[in-house]
């Protein structure tokens, strides 16, 4: 089903694998001829390519998969221990450091892992064959080393209404037809990360479904270049700077994220790639497990945060003030916030437990706590970076001025900092900070940190479900010597069981 059969190894091979596909991608009102060569799209492809190159450079990052018995890229690996889950985080932080942006490959990893346990439990209940199908698919992508995107967030229309209550049934992706080979789906998924850069997309529902939503309970795989798919590329702040000559004003000219709207118009999913088909009651299980993984995957932002802290420290250095106490204190605070995100993510991964299917699932409460910190701290870190950078970050003339024979010499004369600092380097670092706090990569570092994997309120709801107030009330009442009828400790969360589990080396 996929053209390439020799596994992709390097970033360069990955980029080659994307060429010549018949993708229908629209950008600025025009059909893009070859996305790989489009200056606005290319940096996002480079970021994915880095996930290949890193695996080559640091072989230990790969994992031995029980599915295929071979070493596979960890983005395609099914977690076989708590440590495997932790190692995802470490890889994410490293890639954040190397790209300073979203490298787009976590959705696929988290989708495969959450489907592993969910299909197993669906089969258990319904006698279906989804789990085996999924394993076949995993084998193939592990062998060929492909990029898997997810397609989850429906465009939703009126948010106070469910899928079948909308005026237009297509506002949620659903089955519009089926034959004995498979199903046909229509609808649209909004802000899909890295979709144009994927080989396959996993289509999944994005909300709790009821019996009347059966046609919306569809999970399946589809090649990114399948007929019936249209991509409309999202604009990012300062995106057209990638089309300008030079590389300074872009800040981070090599890497960026990508989000596009994906529209399905009777796109086909063959039976052997369907992993849910009508089992609506499993939609919320899949979503919860996926978001549980994915909210902790935002540990990647600590790698991006490392870059921004480094940029702020560099500009302080260029300005000759690296040892001024308030500057140092702000760098400490940025680090403290960044590591707090990291710590809560690692704790969630470490506090994993084994599911029936054998895959390991991270801790739900701590995953939400991690992501909730991600919705806050990057904004604070970004603000500190702007504080340290100084106003020049937003009043700097363009690279063209710097290169111009009239104005270039003036800038070199007047933008001089402390002795020994090259004006161009100073401008480059300022543009990087602009890129990360207002420009292309602010999209990923700030706004996506806010809304990706669920907006802040989604985490609060999930924390509320897990917080075991009954258990805690009983603690308080015991200490206050309150005598009362009624058993406080009945509740449907088992967070404290996980907290007080003495051993996480097995289930």
Site mask for a copy of itself (CB under 8 A), range 124-153, x = bound: ------------------------------
| Residues listed for the chain | 507
User: How many chain residues interact with a copy of itself (CB under 8 A)?
Assistant: 161
Cβ contact 55:95 at 8 Å: no
Nearest distance, CB of residue 484 and a copy of itself, angstroms: 6
Nearest distance, CB of residue 271 and a copy of itself, angstroms: 28
Cβ contact 25:260 at 8 Å: yes
**Active site positions, annotated:** 102, 106, 193, 259, 294, 298, 300, 448
Ranges of H-type helices in 275-391? 283-297, 300-318, 325-350, 364-374, 377-389
Considering only residues 467 to 486 of the shown chain, the ones binding a copy of itself according to CB under 8 A are 467, 469, 471-477, 479-484
Structure tokens at 124: 């258990």
Structure tokens at 183: 């199903």
Considering only residues 16 to 45 of the shown chain, the ones binding a copy of itself according to CB under 8 A are 26-31
Instruction: Please report whether residue 311 would count as binding a copy of itself according to CB under 8 A.
Output: yes
In angstroms, the CA 242 to CA 270 distance is 39
Nearest distance, CB of residue 254 and a copy of itself, angstroms: 7
Q: Which of 164, 210, 398, 493 binds a copy of itself (CB under 8 A)?
A: 398
Instruction: Please report whether residue 353 would count as binding a copy of itself according to CB under 8 A.
Output: no
Nearest distance, CB of residue 125 and a copy of itself, angstroms: 32
In angstroms, the CA 174 to CA 261 distance is 16
Considering only residues 148 to 207 of the shown chain, the ones binding a copy of itself according to CB under 8 A are 155, 157-160, 167-168, 170-171, 188, 190-191
Considering only residues 430 to 469 of the shown chain, the ones binding a copy of itself according to CB under 8 A are 431-432, 434, 438-439, 442-443, 446-448, 450-452, 455-457, 460, 463-464, 467, 469
Q: Which stretch binds a copy of itself (CB under 8 A): 65-73, 119-127, 144-152, 410-418?
A: 410-418
In angstroms, the CA 289 to CA 161 distance is 24
Nearest distance, CB of residue 175 and a copy of itself, angstroms: 18
Q: Which of 347, 355, 374, 381 binds a copy of itself (CB under 8 A)?
A: 347
Site mask for a copy of itself (CB under 8 A), range 217-256, x = bound: -------------x-xxxxxxx-xx-----x-x-xxxxx-
Nearest distance, CB of residue 63 and a copy of itself, angstroms: 10
Instruction: Please report whether residue 71 would count as binding a copy of itself according to CB under 8 A.
Output: no
Q: Which of 83, 210, 271, 493 binds a copy of itself (CB under 8 A)?
A: 83
Query: Can you spell out the DSSP letters for 277-303?
Result: ES-GGGHHHHHHHHHHHHHHHTTHHHH
Burial 205-214 (b: 16+ CB within 10 A, else e): bbbebeeebb
- The CA-based angle 214-215-217, given to 5 degrees, is 65
């Amino acid at each position: 089903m996929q053209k390439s059969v020799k596994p992709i190894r390097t970033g360069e091979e990955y980029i080659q694998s994307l060429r010549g596909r018949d993708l229908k991608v629209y950008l600025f009102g025009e059909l893009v001829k070859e996305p790989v060569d489009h200056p606005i799209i290319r940096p996002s492809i480079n970021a994915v390519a880095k996930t290949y190159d890193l695996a080559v450079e640091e072989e230990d990052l790969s994992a031995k998969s029980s599915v295929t018995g071979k070493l596979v890229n960890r983005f395609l690996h099914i977690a076989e221990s708590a440590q495997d889950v932790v190692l995802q985080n470490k890889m994410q932080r490293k890639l954040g450091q190397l790209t300073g942006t979203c490298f787009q490959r976590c959705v696929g990893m988290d989708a495969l892992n959450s489907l592993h346990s969910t299909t197993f439990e669906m089969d258990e209940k319904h006698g279906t064959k989804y789990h085996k199908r999924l394993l076949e698919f995993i084998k193939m992508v592990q062998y060929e080393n492909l990029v898997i995107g997810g397609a989850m967030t429906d465009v939703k229309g009126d948010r106070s209404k469910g899928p079948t209550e909308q005026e237009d049934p297509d506002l949620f992706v659903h089955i519009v037809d089926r034959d004995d080979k498979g199903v046909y789906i229509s609808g649209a998924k909004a802000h899909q990360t890295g979709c144009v850069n994927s080989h396959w997309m996993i289509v999944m529902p994005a909300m709790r479904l009821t019996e009347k939503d059966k046609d919306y309970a569809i999970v399946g795989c589809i090649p990114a270049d399948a007929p019936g798919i249209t991509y409309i590329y999202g604009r990012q702040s300062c995106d057209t700077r990638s089309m300008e000559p030079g590389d300074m004003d872009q800040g981070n000219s090599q890497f960026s994220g990508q989000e596009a709207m994906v529209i399905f118009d009777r796109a086909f999913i063959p039976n052997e790639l369907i992993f849910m088909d009508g089992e609506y009651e499993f939609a919320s299980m899949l979503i919860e497990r996926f978001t549980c993984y994915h909210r902790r995957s935002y540990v990647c932002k600590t790698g991006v945060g490392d870059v921004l802290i480094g940029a702020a420290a560099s500009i302080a250095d260029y300005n000759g003030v690296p040892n001024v106490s308030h500057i140092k204190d702000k760098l400490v605070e940025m680090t403290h916030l960044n590591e707090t995100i990291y710590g809560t993510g690692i704790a969630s991964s470490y506090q994993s437990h084994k599911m029936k299917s054998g895959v390991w699932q991270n801790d739900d409460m701590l995953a939400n706590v991690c992501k909730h910190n991600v919705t806050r701290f990057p904004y604070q870190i970004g603000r500190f970076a702007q504080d340290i950078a100084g106003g020049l970050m937003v009043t700097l003339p363009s690279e063209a001025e710097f290169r111009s024979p009239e104005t270039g010499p003036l800038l070199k004369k007047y933008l001089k900092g402390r002795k020994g600092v090259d004006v161009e380097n100073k401008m480059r670092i300022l543009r990087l900070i602009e890129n990360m706090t207002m420009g292309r990569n602010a999209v990923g570092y700030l706004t996506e940190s806010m809304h990706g994997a669920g907006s802040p309120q989604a985490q609060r709801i999930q924390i509320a479900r897990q917080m075991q107030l009954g258990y805690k009330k009983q603690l308080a009442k015991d200490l206050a010597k309150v005598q009362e009828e009624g058993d406080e400790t009945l509740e449907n969360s088992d967070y404290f069981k996980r907290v007080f589990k003495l051993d996480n080396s097995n289930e």
